[in-house]
A = this chain, B = another copy of it.
Amino acid sequence: MKLKVASKILDANERIAQDNKKAFEGAGLYVVNLMSSPGAGKTSLLENTIKGLAGKSMVGVIEGDITGTDDAVRIERLEVPVVQINTGGACHLDANMINSVLNDLPLAELDLLFIENVGNLVCPAEFKVGEDIKVMILSITEGHDKPLKYPLMFQESSALIINKIDLKPFLDVDVAKIRKDALSLNPSIKIFEVSCKTGEGIDAWIEWLIQTSNS
């Protein structure tokens, strides 16, 4: 009798993601896959995080977008190495896309690599790219119903960054419900409330990130 188990580990994306992870580990690099809806503030969080890590960690960035180089241009101003991937229509980054740019970054010189995924609250959570952790951003303007409507990303993420908290006085949004529902989906998810505009909460996120990447 022959038994064939269609194990996830044999899946092509999973295999390439493991190759990427080995390359990152070989370079002593901690990798964060950053995901959110369009316009939730991934690039703004990266800008704040890179500034906060200046002098502490060598940071590199891979930018994923359907088209264009807007985000890479923003990151380049902070004088860190950045590579832009254009997915050409695909709504998420996959492991092969990341594999194809590994030689375009000075991996051995870096401590932290951020992979900014395509803006999409669904598919990016399904595709590993070789990261150590997934981190997601939710803008409070998206409403408090998002965890239960888009559960996978909340389940897959190690941290949830609730952004644009400065807009809270002008919205009918129940941040406590976001916290409660996210924790019901993923009891170990670490939650930060931040404003990339005012800087509120950014320090706590960076402190956690440094601890997590060193542990």
Contact = CB atoms under 8 A, between A and B. Distances in A.
A197 B89 CA distance: 33
A150 interface: yes
B139 A66 contact: no
A89 B119 contact: no
A151 interface: yes
Contacts of A164: 141
Interface in A48-102: 65-68, 70, 89, 91
A33 B38 CA distance: 20
A107 to B, nearest CB: 27
Interface in A107-133: 118-123, 126
Interface in A147-172: 148-152, 164, 166-167, 170-172
- The secondary-structure label for the interface of chain A is loop
A39 interface: yes
A143 B68 contact: no
A174 interface: no
A40 to B, nearest CB: 8
State how many copies of this chain the complex holds. 2
B121 A68 contact: no
A146 interface: yes
A37 interface: yes
Contacts of A172: 197
Nearest to A41: B143
B149 A120 contact: no
Contacts of A146: 38-39
A215 B161 CA distance: 46
A142 interface: yes
Contacts of A118: 122
Nearest to A65: B149
B141 A66 contact: no
A200 interface: no
Contacts of A152: 66, 89
A141 B91 contact: no
A149 B68 contact: yes
A145 interface: yes
